[in-house]
Amino acid sequence: MTEVEAKKPQESLQDRLSQVIDLLHRHKLVEDLTHRQEGHHHELVENLVHRQNLAELQRKLDELHPADVAHILEALPLNDRLTVWQLVKAERDGDILLEVSDAVRESLIADMDDHEILAAAKEMDADELADLAPELPRDVVHELMESLDAQQRERVRSALSYEEDQVGALMDFEMVTIRDDVALEVVLRYLRRLKELPGHTDKLFVVDYDGILKGVLSIKRLLVNDPEKLVAEVMANDPVSFHPDDDAYDAAQAFERYDLISAPVVEKNGKLIGRLTIDAMVDLIREESESEVLSMAGLREEEDIFASVWKSVRNRWAWLAINLITAFVASRVIGMFEGSIEKLVALAALMPIVAGIGGNSGNQTITMIVRAMALDQVGTGNTSRLLRKELVVALINGLVWGGVIGAVAYGLYGSWSLGVVMTAAMTLNLLLAALMGVLIPMTLVRLGRDPAMGSSVMITAMTDSGGFFIFLGLATLFLL
Amino acid sequence: MTEVEAKKPQESLQDRLSQVIDLLHRHKLVEDLTHRQEGHHHELVENLVHRQNLAELQRKLDELHPADVAHILEALPLNDRLTVWQLVKAERDGDILLEVSDAVRESLIADMDDHEILAAAKEMDADELADLAPELPRDVVHELMESLDAQQRERVRSALSYEEDQVGALMDFEMVTIRDDVALEVVLRYLRRLKELPGHTDKLFVVDYDGILKGVLSIKRLLVNDPEKLVAEVMANDPVSFHPDDDAYDAAQAFERYDLISAPVVEKNGKLIGRLTIDAMVDLIREESESEVLSMAGLREEEDIFASVWKSVRNRWAWLAINLITAFVASRVIGMFEGSIEKLVALAALMPIVAGIGGNSGNQTITMIVRAMALDQVGTGNTSRLLRKELVVALINGLVWGGVIGAVAYGLYGSWSLGVVMTAAMTLNLLLAALMGVLIPMTLVRLGRDPAMGSSVMITAMTDSGGFFIFLGLATLFLL
């Protein structure tokens, strides 16, 4: 049974989460009882049960991979999360902190005193410290830096000097470097002396005496070639490498495209300073797609689903406020035509159809374009072609679906001219949606903004106000 | 200069794309001229220029990594795409076909004759053939299968027997297996005899004489341990492994969580049948997030941005039709209150604000929940808690922004009771949005559906109809 569990990490992960929640509930139930019952005898018994539950929970947690503990912490509301966090062995704190999301990490660190934080940080590598540092209290960071040796301190400083989305902020410093004038045999003996290789070591970095990168020796080649050969004969001379100020997303795409496991990071003069590994790139790919989804919906950042109400309100505030303004504008557009609506109240019932379908269609277009932009498929060369295609699709959809809804309007209100206005308005609004669906993300990119940012809110604003104006305007011109 | 380019693959990729487009344009310009000019002398000269351009383009393409050629093919409209495709050397066709997206692959295969397809497929491994097979003409697949040896044919059949989202469809069959009763020294000699190791070989698979997986020997351990030690002493006994019918997305999450490079796939009886590698998992993570974004917007599948108009129309058809029905329902809700609108036309102008903000807020909630579900953070244990939180956030936003818009309504129409109705309707509709934002994805999951599927269309339908009903209903009750 245990073997099967170990081989299906995902299934057992859900099981484990349930087990932890179950143990927590039993723990709380006992606490409630203890509070209610005042008799000394009862208290003793329940304390015992209570402690047994916690001990079992602790044992469960000790068996888990830090990434699994992190997952459980993220899926628990704040109170339960901190109960579990206090049960985790101190020496594992560091590993787990590195695995949780930023929002959850903040809640965990807030629960630790300086001494605990320092202990957790002691085991970390320079790049991990740099990850953590921005969220730590300033005096803790100071004390931490003091405790490092000069090289480590320099590395942390260097990693901290780059923006979050630059290669320099994601590189690590653990790598094996070799010279090119030795035999593979010597390399093999050297590795054996190291006792342990850094994670994701699929290649060794070949440098000269000044630390300039000359090539890479893949472990695969090291293993299959004659041990008497020299490194220089076997190594690849022109590996894919990155500069620390390169865009991290571009690096992630290169990892994906060329199926890399690790790659060297070099300074402008060719000096090797670190490496990127696939695990950091996978996290980045995941984060990138998350932030795309979130920003399309007008959410500012990843929200811990158990974040406090106040935090959630703040996260959603900005775009709701913008939406309020756009909705108000749409409302004023309708206000301009109040006279028409008073004369023909059917307009009020039909206008949201025009606006709604336009919004939906525009969202489809903008989603496509934002996707294609993220994949670097949209350049200056093909904008007009894309726009033309979207407009033709919109025209077809407008005539077909607009025709259907026009017929329905005729059926409901018995006016064929109302039906024609409906069809025309739908078609025009879908064309507007297509135009804006292409132009909004293109404009955002040209302004140096994220094309996904609130794009859904903006396109809906356009198709609402536009749809009302087109439909009510046509109706006023031709029906009244 | 070339060295710098090779070290910044991303920048040069954009450059390369521009270069290809540039060469294509020159090529077309010459073609245009050739068609227009009838004089023999001119034709000769232009044919020469023409051929020179194509030769230069071909040279450019030959230098590129198959993944880069694939990227260029995806970013080109159909005509240009096929021009470039014909220039690619035949022996590289297979590699490139495996890199492009399904939609683009279809357009390329449609341009090849059976003979070319067979030649391209000849170089492929069983798992690659299985990837390609569903898109090939049936008789080509038949001929292809005939040309394989029994083991390969069995592998292709096996890979084809699994669903697209199962581990079995993504595994490959190239791996190095060893026995546990030999010394590391022997393993090293064995590897050297292989001459080449499969890509992403970070571990060797230890099997017994029946092919049952007994453990894995990581290359790292192989390198740092004493060569005299036995495999059994050094190997890991209980590696993370998968069954071929496991969910591929769960496997990808396990790769992400445990930082895996490769992992064994075993049958229920423990027999090793293949392996998963990180490159397939990264592609899956990327695809998963793409399909999430697309399906939230009600797009059925990845759409090649240069897909034919007809294909695009079909892709967007289904959800537009659903949206038409929901919009019609909303319209009928308004229709119920036409009498009220006739008496107080301000209602027509104000009602889209209530509906619009509800839709936006509901989309924020549903995006959060769908995300959390994708990350396995939402289980049965915490639904009610989440719902409570979303409702409180909605209540606060409703009272605050509803209050603002109520005050504006009072300012515009001079009726404080209208303002109060507006505030109340906004608050109620935001509460409805929160409730539906949590319940819709939860219900979809319980029905075994993708929680992202058209969720944006559905929540908007709820908040539109609901918003109109609440606002017009309250207005009819209290204002008329």
ipTM reported for the complex surpasses 0.90: no
Does B5 touch chain A if contact means CB atoms closer than 8 Å?
A: no
- A204: Cβ–Cβ under 8 A, 6 or more apart, which residues? A175, A176, A177, A178, A187, A216, A217, A219, A222
Side-chain half-sphere exposure of B218, counting CA atoms within 13 A: 19
Residue range B332-352: average pLDDT? 93
Going by pLDDT thresholds of 50, 70 and 90, the confidence category of residue A134 is confident
Phi and psi, residue A365, nearest 5°:
-60, -50
> Same domain, yes or no, for A465 and A339?
yes
Per-residue pLDDT tens for B146-197? 888 888 888 888 888 888 889 999 999 989 999 999 999 999 999 999 988 9
> Same domain, yes or no, for A12 and A97?
yes
Going by pLDDT thresholds of 50, 70 and 90, the confidence category of residue B433 is very high
Going by pLDDT thresholds of 50, 70 and 90, the confidence category of residue A470 is very high
Going by pLDDT thresholds of 50, 70 and 90, the confidence category of residue B11 is very low
> Same domain, yes or no, for B276 and B316?
no
Question: Which residue's entry shows tokens 């604000």?
Answer: B353
Dihedral of CA atoms B256, B258, B259, B261 in degrees, nearest 10, equals -100
- A198: Cβ–Cβ under 8 A, 6 or more apart, which residues? A172, A174, A175, A176
Q: A293 and B298: CB-CB below 8 Å?
A: no
What pLDDT is attached to residue A18? 72
Pick the residue of B192, B212, B257, B396 with the most A CBs within 10 A to test the interface with A by mutation. B257
For A294, the closest chain B residue by CA position comes to: B367
Q: Is the pLDDT of residue B465 over 90?
A: yes
DSSP one-letter code for B303: -
The C-alpha atoms of residue B212 and residue A472 are separated, in whole angstroms, by 73
- Over its C-alpha atoms, chain B yields an Rg (Å, rounded) of 30
Report the amino acid identity of residue A50.
Answer: H
Does B297 touch chain A if contact means CB atoms closer than 8 Å?
A: yes
Which CATH number do you get for residue A327? 1.10.357.20
The C-alpha atoms of residue A249 and residue A165 are separated, in whole angstroms, by 7
Q: B364 and A225: CB-CB below 8 Å?
A: no
Q: How far is B247 from chain A (nearest CA, A)?
A: 9
The C-alpha atoms of residue B310 and residue B181 are separated, in whole angstroms, by 62
> Same domain, yes or no, for B145 and B61?
yes
Q: How far is B399 from chain A (nearest CA, A)?
A: 12
Tell me whether residue A113 is in a domain: yes
Name the nearest CA neighbour of B421 among B436, B431, B407. Answer: B407
Side-chain half-sphere exposure of A227, counting CA atoms within 13 A: 11
Tell me whether residue B303 is in a domain: no
How many distinct helices (H) and strands (E) make up chain B?
A: 23, 5
Tell me whether residue B171 is in a domain: no
In the three-class reduction of DSSP (H, G, I as helix; E, B as strand; rest coil), residue B262 is classed as strand
What pLDDT is attached to residue B43? 58
Residue range A323-333: average pLDDT? 91
In the three-class reduction of DSSP (H, G, I as helix; E, B as strand; rest coil), residue B462 is classed as helix
Going by pLDDT thresholds of 50, 70 and 90, the confidence category of residue A399 is very high
Within 10 angstroms of residue B480's Cβ, the number of other Cβ atoms is 11
The alpha carbon dihedral of A258, B60, B131, B449 has a sign of: positive
For B285, the closest chain A residue by CA position comes to: A286
Tell me whether residue A224 is in a domain: yes
Pick the residue of A353, A390, A401 with the most B CBs within 10 A to test the interface with B by mutation. A353
In the three-class reduction of DSSP (H, G, I as helix; E, B as strand; rest coil), residue B267 is classed as coil
Which CATH number do you get for residue A32? 1.25.60.10
Choose one of B256, B275, B296: the last residue of a domain. Answer: B296
What is the average pLDDT value for chain B, to the nearest integer? 84
Does B67 touch chain A if contact means CB atoms closer than 8 Å?
A: yes
Q: Is the pLDDT of residue A304 over 80?
A: no
Strands A177-178 and A203-207, sheet pairing: parallel
Residue range A187-196: average pLDDT? 92
The C-alpha atoms of residue A207 and residue A185 are separated, in whole angstroms, by 18
DSSP one-letter code for B381: G
> Same domain, yes or no, for B145 and B211?
no
The C-alpha atoms of residue A226 and residue A470 are separated, in whole angstroms, by 76
Q: Is the pLDDT of residue B6 over 50?
A: no
What pLDDT is attached to residue A27? 64
Q: How far is B317 from chain A (nearest CA, A)?
A: 8
Q: Which two tokens stand for residue B96?
A: 């490139």
Long-range contacts: B259-263, Cβ < 8 Å, 24+? B259/A199, B259/A200, B259/A279, B261/A200, B261/A202, B261/A261, B261/A278, B261/B200, B261/B202, B261/B203, B262/B175, B262/B200, B262/B201, B262/B202, B262/B203, B263/B239
What pLDDT is attached to residue A291? 75
> Same domain, yes or no, for A139 and A90?
yes
Q: Is the pLDDT of residue B272 over 60?
A: yes
Q: Is the pLDDT of residue A11 over 50?
A: no
Tell me whether residue B469 is in a domain: yes
The C-alpha atoms of residue A477 and residue B376 are separated, in whole angstroms, by 54
Name the nearest CA neighbour of B161 among B274, B283, B278. Answer: B274
Residue range B390-403: average pLDDT? 92
Q: Which residues in chain B are contacts of A296 at CB distance < 8 A?
A: 293, 367
Q: How far is B327 from chain A (nearest CA, A)?
A: 5
Residue range B116-120: average pLDDT? 86
The answer to whether the beta carbons of residues A437 and B312 sit under 8 Å apart is: no
> Same domain, yes or no, for A190 and A250?
yes
- At B216, which helix (H) or strand (E)? strand B213-218
Q: Which residues in chain A are contacts of B194 at CB distance < 8 A?
A: 224
Per-residue pLDDT tens for B241-268? 999 999 998 899 899 888 999 999 999 9
DSSP B26-87: HHHHHHHHHHH---HHHHHHHHHHHHHHHHHHHHHHHHS-HHHHHHHHHTS-HHHHHHHHHH
What pLDDT is attached to residue A1? 28
Tell me whether residue A414 is in a domain: yes
- Which of the residue ranges A166-175, A382-391, B94-103, B141-150 has the most confident prediction, judged by mean pLDDT? A166-175
The answer to whether the beta carbons of residues B230 and B182 sit under 8 Å apart is: yes
Domain of residue A224 covers 177-296
Q: Which two tokens stand for residue A430?
A: 């879908």
* Residues within 8 A of A (CB atoms), B 412-441 only: 412
Q: Is the pLDDT of residue A379 over 80?
A: no
> Same domain, yes or no, for B130 and B217?
no
What pLDDT is attached to residue B124? 84
Name the nearest CA neighbour of B476 among B411, B415, B404, B418. Answer: B418
Tell me whether residue A91 is in a domain: yes
Residue range A300-307: average pLDDT? 65
Tell me whether residue B366 is in a domain: yes
- At B100, which helix (H) or strand (E)? none
The C-alpha atoms of residue B479 and residue B471 are separated, in whole angstroms, by 11
Choose one of A263, A296, A329: the last residue of a domain. Answer: A296
> Same domain, yes or no, for B86 and B185?
no
* Residues within 8 A of B (CB atoms), A 117-136 only: none
Would residue A128 be called left, alpha or beta, if left means φ above 0 and alpha means ψ between -120 and 50 degrees? alpha
Per-residue pLDDT tens for B60-115? 888 888 888 888 888 787 888 888 898 888 788 888 988 888 888 888 888 888 88
Sheet (strand B177-178) strand order: B177-178, B203-207, B213-218
> Same domain, yes or no, for A213 and A139?
no
Which CATH number do you get for residue B219? 3.10.580.10
Name the nearest CA neighbour of B371 among A256, A299, A19, A99. Answer: A299
Residue range A248-266: average pLDDT? 91
Does B211 touch chain A if contact means CB atoms closer than 8 Å?
A: no
Choose one of A228, A263, A296: the last residue of a domain. Answer: A296
Q: B316 and A361: CB-CB below 8 Å?
A: yes
> Same domain, yes or no, for A23 and A120?
yes
> Same domain, yes or no, for B215 and B288?
yes
Would residue B270 be called left, alpha or beta, if left means φ above 0 and alpha means ψ between -120 and 50 degrees? left
The total number of structural domains that make up chain B = 3
Within 10 angstroms of residue B237's Cβ, the number of other Cβ atoms is 12
